[in-house]
Structure 1
Amino acid sequence: MSLSPLAAIRFDQDDIDTFLDGIAKVLTARGLKLRGAMQTRGAMGGECHCADMDLSTFGSGRTFRISQPLGTGSRGCRLHPGALAECSAFIEQELRQGADLLILNRFGRGESEGRGFRDLMVQAIALDVPVRPTYVQAWSAFSAGAGCELPMDQDAILNWFRAVQRARHAA
């Protein structure tokens, strides 16, 4: 098993958010301090055909609306880059207060293009906080061989985290 502080979970189910939330609950129950955010979707309705998207942070529970209404004729991405940047800056401040693990629900288009949570991931690495970020080639380029891929299996992820945590404390 790699002791990389970066791990991407290749998910084979649509509901990665519920899966990661379960892992977060296990680790929080063990007294660990988590940072990061989970995406949730609101009800579909209004003038757009898509549901609202929110990011709720671990620890503080603060919610950021990261979608924006673009109207009924819109076919493009509704992601609100400013709101995502605000959430990222908030999480970075929380990281500086200490963390055992940073969990982010996606390494997507924004991160692959150098935006989104990319700078936050770099900051976590600088602070020696393990990161979990589906852009496979962009992830490989970003992690530059220092990242590993984990299966969508709770035991495998918890074992990876335990091994990274032991290595951090032994250093």
Structure 2
Amino acid sequence: MSMLAAVIYGPDDDCDQMLADFAHGLAAGGVAVAGLVQINGRDASCAEMDMELEDLDTGRRINICQDLGSGSSDSCRLDPTGLAEAAGALKAALDKPLDLVVINKFGRMESEGQGLVAEIGEAVATGRPLIIGVPRRFAGAWDAFAGGLDEKVACRAEALAAWWAAARSPALAAE
């Protein structure tokens, strides 16, 4: 059983909402959860709306989209400043006692060795249970990054709950 859960999802799955609901539910039950979940509106593409990352440790929301103006032909509005701010929040949370780390996504930036890749590596290195969303189109890059240390989890709440129950058991036995 791996302490690293990769939730592989496709365009029709709402992994962002599932991860947010899962993390909030565990936190409400007393589990020390930290990390980042993505909060989306109607269209999660960042092309037509702002996306935010919620810092699970503080509840603060960080906008990760930038306005490129009406004449821009660049389809990616991911704001490097917002992403850096989110990385700092994640890094600060990793220094605290935690039961679980949740990271919204191993996306395009991470597949290119940028974005939150250093913080994801640091979170894995702590040995704590970690859940991360992985869009199916970046699964190959994720597999190269994770090096087989992960367990693939279907994008379903019951699959995530089953992984958590197994991951939590060794931690409880050590207490």
* Same fold (TM > 0.5): yes
Question: Any unmatched runs of 5+ in structure 1?
Answer: none
Question: Any unmatched runs of 5+ in structure 2?
Answer: none
Contact 1:43 1:52 in 2 (8 A): no
Give deviations 1:74-118, integer Å, cap 9, x for gaps: 232110112212211111111111211111121111111111121
With structure 1 as the length reference, what TM-score do the two structures score? 0.87
Q: Distance in 2 between matches of 1:41 and 1:152?
A: 17
3-state SS in 2 of match to 1:138: helix
After superposition, the Cα gap between the structure-2 partners of 1:42 and 1:164, relative to the gap in structure 1 and judged at 3 Å, is closer
Aligned residue in 2 for 1:149? 152
Task: Tell me by how many angstroms 1:138 deviates.
Answer: 0.6
Aligned residue in 2 for 1:62? 60
Task: Tell me by how many angstroms 1:169 deviates.
Answer: 4.3
3-state SS in 2 of match to 1:8: strand
Query: Aligned-pair RMSD on alpha carbons?
Result: 2.1
Aligned residue in 2 for 1:98? 97
Q: Distance in 1 between matches of 2:81 and 2:147?
A: 28
Structure 1 vs Structure 2: percent identity of aligned residues?
36
With structure 2 as the length reference, what TM-score do the two structures score? 0.85
Size of the aligned set, in residue pairs, is 166
Q: Distance in 1 between matches of 2:20 and 2:47?
A: 26
Runs of 4 or more consecutive aligned structure 1 residues displaced over 4 Å after TM superposition? none
- The correspondence of residues 9-158 of structure 1 with structure 2, limited to 5 A, is 9-12=7-10, 13-41=12-40, 50-76=48-74, 77-133=76-132, 134=135, 135-158=138-161
